[in-house]
Amino acid sequence: MSDALDLAFAALADATRRQILTMLLEDDMAVTDVAEPFEMSLAAISKHLGILTRAGLISQEKRGRVKWCKLEPQAMRGAIVWIESFGQLETLNYDAFEAFLDQELQG
């Protein structure tokens, strides 16, 4: 029932998860290292990472016993396009904007 936009916005609606995303902006991180700054169990962080993964905002890859978390910022594209239609950009040409983004993604 919940589409990609639901999942993305819901994933962003939590300060812990937003902080995790900010951390991953620097570099890929192991689950344990993601958890380190938080006063919360590893299991709780693991759940947060699951929510971010299901939303497509991060990806996780296991190498050896370490699971690496990687930011997937393009997954925010849908959210940003949606939300910006309410901002001051509402007069812009969105077909052109889409064409521009497609072009950016390919190039």
Min dist CB 36 to DNA, Å, is: 10
Residue keyed to tokens 């999942």: 7
**Among 63, 87, 106, 107, which residue interacts with a copy of itself (rule: CB under 8 A)?**
87
| Close Cβ partners of 83 (under 8 Å, ≥ 6 residues apart) | none
How far is Cα 14 from Cα 52, in angstroms, rounded to an integer?
11
Considering only residues 36 to 55 of the shown chain, the ones binding a copy of itself according to CB under 8 A are: none
Contact between 43 and DNA by CB under 7 A: the answer reads yes
Min dist CB 67 to a copy of itself, Å, is: 21
**Nearest C-alpha neighbor of 31 from the set 60, 57, 53:** 60
How far is Cα 50 from Cα 75, in angstroms, rounded to an integer?
15
Are 98 and 84 spatial neighbours (Cβ–Cβ below 8 Å)? no
Binding residues for a copy of itself, rule: CB under 8 A, are 2-3, 5-10, 12-15, 18, 21-22, 25, 71, 73-74, 76-77, 79-80, 82-90, 92-93, 96-97, 100-101, 103-105
Binding residues for DNA, rule: CB under 7 A, are 10, 13-14, 16, 30-33, 39-44, 46-51, 60, 64-68
